[in-house]
Structure 1
Amino acid sequence: MTTVELTRFRTHPGRADELLRARPGMLAAFGADRAGFVEARLVRLPDDEWLDIVVWESPEDFAASRAKGANLPGIAAFFAPISDLIGSEEGDTP
Structure 2
Amino acid sequence: MTTVELTRFHVAPDQVRRLLAARPAMLADFRADRAGFLGARLVRLPGDDWLDIVHWRTAEDFAESRAKGANLPGIKAFFEAIDHVVSAEEGTIEDEEQS
TM-score class, shorter: over 0.9
Structure 1 residue runs of 5 or longer lacking an equivalent are: none
How far has the Cα of 1:26 moved from its partner? 0.2
How far has the Cα of 1:13 moved from its partner? 3.0
Q: How high is the TM-score relative to the length of structure 2?
A: 0.92
What's the RMSD between the two structures over aligned residues? Answer: 0.7
> Using the alignment, how far apart are the partners of 1:37 and 1:79 within structure 2?
17
How far has the Cα of 1:92 moved from its partner? 1.2
Q: Relative to total residues, which structure has the larger strand share, 1 or 2?
A: 1
Please name the residue that 1:47 is paired with: 47
How far has the Cα of 1:71 moved from its partner? 0.3
Greater than 2 Å deviation, 4+ residue runs: none
> How many residues of Structure 1 are paired with residues of Structure 2 in the alignment?
94
Structure 2 residue runs of 5 or longer lacking an equivalent are: 95-99
> Which one has a bigger Cα radius of gyration?
2
How far has the Cα of 1:12 moved from its partner? 2.4
Q: Give percent identity, aligned residues only.
A: 65
Please name the residue that 1:26 is paired with: 26
> Using the alignment, how far apart are the partners of 1:17 and 1:48 within structure 2?
13
